[in-house]
């Protein structure tokens, strides 16, 4: 049932990205291109997507905080709070990659449906970067400390 | 603002929020694609099932849209495969290092009012804005 529940969630999430246009890298870049504001060609849609998603998630999480999940024994809220070099450095690297192509992980994976060679290359590179990080991390950090790393998302 | 689509953006954004809330209410998990993807492909991962179906659902969305008669946009990508590969590497490594992306930090984290996620989102947005300014206006002209 957990697998079926997350299938539905992924599906709804994917429809959200599709309807909002956020599956399209050119539309995302149209938001990130703030120098287009004076010429009137800036596209603020991504800000509206985030505002709507945040409003729903904020309200829904308030409800979720008071409940036990249906198919699990407890909610797994992220535990990390540190604003450290990993957070800052990782965010910079991610932002640079995002700005180069206009794809972040969700839309990148969803766009695999198009079978576009560029997207396939992007997702393979993303996988290499992810696994590369984990190997580098496992070598540089003591094992017990590595276990503390709980996912924010 | 000829390209601004506020209504579809609001509907789509609300759906993303509903999916994030549902995943917490049902499975007790954060809807962060970085964590889902990493937990799916990492050789050391032990809990792959729900992550695999989340990704399957994500990919099934545009496929079902096509079956309903929508046109699936072919993503507009840079012509240089080297640029695409470098960007993919940066996104994969960076999101893993900062433990989240647009969904995990940008939506789920900010909705929890997490200072960590608000910081991450401000930084990756700023970095992406700078890169677009440089590639479109400084180099691309």
State the average pLDDT for chain B.
95
Residue B18 in any domain: the answer is no
Per-residue pLDDT in tens (0 to 9) along chain A, 153 residues: 999 999 999 999 999 999 999 999 999 999 999 999 999 999 999 999 999 999 999 999 999 999 999 999 999 999 999 999 999 999 999 999 999 999 999 999 999 999 999 999 999 999 999 999 999 988 887 655 555 555 576
pTM above 0.80, yes or no: yes
Residue B104 in any domain: the answer is yes
- What pLDDT digit, counting tens, does each position of B15-43 carry? 999 999 999 999 999 999 999 999 999 88
Contact B58 A11 (CB under 8 A): yes
Residue B62 in any domain: the answer is no
E-state strands within A25-151: none
Residue B36 in any domain: the answer is no
Q: Which residues of chain B neighbour A4 with C-beta distances below 8 Å?
A: 53
Residue B68 in any domain: the answer is no
Q: Which residues of chain A neighbour B57 with C-beta distances below 8 Å?
A: 6-14
Residue B141 in contact with partner chain A when CB distance is under 8 A:
no
Q: Which residues of chain B neighbour A143 with C-beta distances below 8 Å?
A: none
Nearest partner of A110 among B102, B59, B36, judged by Cα: B59
Closest-CA distance, A143 to chain B, in angstroms, reads 13
Residue B99 in any domain: the answer is yes
Residue B6: per-residue pLDDT: 97
Domain ranges, residue B81: 77-141
Residue B41 in any domain: the answer is no
Residue B35 in any domain: the answer is no
Q: Please tell me the total count of domains within chain B.
A: 1
Token pair of B126, please? 């700023």
Listing DSSP states for chain B in one string gives -TT--HHHHHHHHHHHHHHHHHHHHHH-----HHHHHHHHH-TT-S--HHHHHHHHHHHHHHHHHHHTTPPPPPP---S-HHHHHHHHHHHHHHHHHTT--TTIIIIIIHHTT-HHHHHHHHHHHHHHHHHHHIIIIII--
Nearest residue on chain B to A81, judged by CA atoms? Answer: B116
Segments making up each domain of chain A, as ranges: 1-77, 80-153
Q: What is the mean pLDDT of residues B97-105?
A: 97
Portion 94-113 of B in contact with A at CB < 8 A: 94-112
Residue B28: per-residue pLDDT: 97
Least confident of A6-20, A129-143, B73-87, B122-136: A129-143
Q: Which residues of chain B neighbour A87 with C-beta distances below 8 Å?
A: 98-99, 116, 119-120
């Amino acid at each position: 049932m957990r697998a079926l529940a997350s299938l539905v969630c992924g599906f709804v999430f994917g429809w959200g990205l599709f309807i909002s246009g956020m599956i399209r890298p050119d539309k995302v870049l149209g938001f990130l291109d703030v120098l287009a504001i004076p010429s009137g060609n800036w596209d603020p849609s991504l800000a509206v997507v985030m505002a709507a998603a945040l409003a729903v998630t904020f309200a829904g999480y308030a409800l979720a905080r008071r409940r036990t999940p249906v198919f699990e024994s407890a909610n797994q809220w992220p535990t990390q709070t540190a604003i450290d070099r990993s957070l800052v450095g990782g965010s910079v690297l991610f932002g640079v990659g995002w700005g180069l192509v206009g794809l972040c992980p969700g839309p990148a994976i969803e766009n695999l449906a198009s079978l576009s060679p560029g997207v396939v290359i992007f997702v393979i590179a993303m996988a290499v970067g992810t696994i590369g990080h984990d190997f580098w991390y496992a070598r540089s950090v003591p094992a017990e400390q590595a276990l503390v790393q709980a996912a924010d998302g | 603002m000829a390209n601004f689509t506020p209504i579809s953006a609001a509907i789509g954004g609300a759906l993303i929020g509903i999916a994030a809330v549902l995943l917490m209410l049902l499975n007790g998990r954060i809807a962060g694609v970085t964590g889902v993807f990493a937990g799916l492909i990492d050789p050391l991962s032990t809990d792959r099932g729900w992550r695999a179906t989340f990704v399957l659902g994500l990919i099934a969305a545009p496929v079902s849209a096509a079956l309903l008669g929508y046109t699936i946009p072919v993503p507009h990508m840079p012509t240089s495969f080297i640029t695409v590969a470098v960007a993919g590497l940066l996104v994969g490594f960076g999101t893993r290092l900062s433990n989240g992306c647009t969904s995990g930090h940008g939506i789920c984290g900010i909705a929890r009012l997490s200072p960590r996620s608000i910081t991450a989102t401000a930084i990756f947005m700023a970095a992406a804005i700078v890169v677009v300014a440089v590639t479109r206006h400084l180099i691309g002209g």
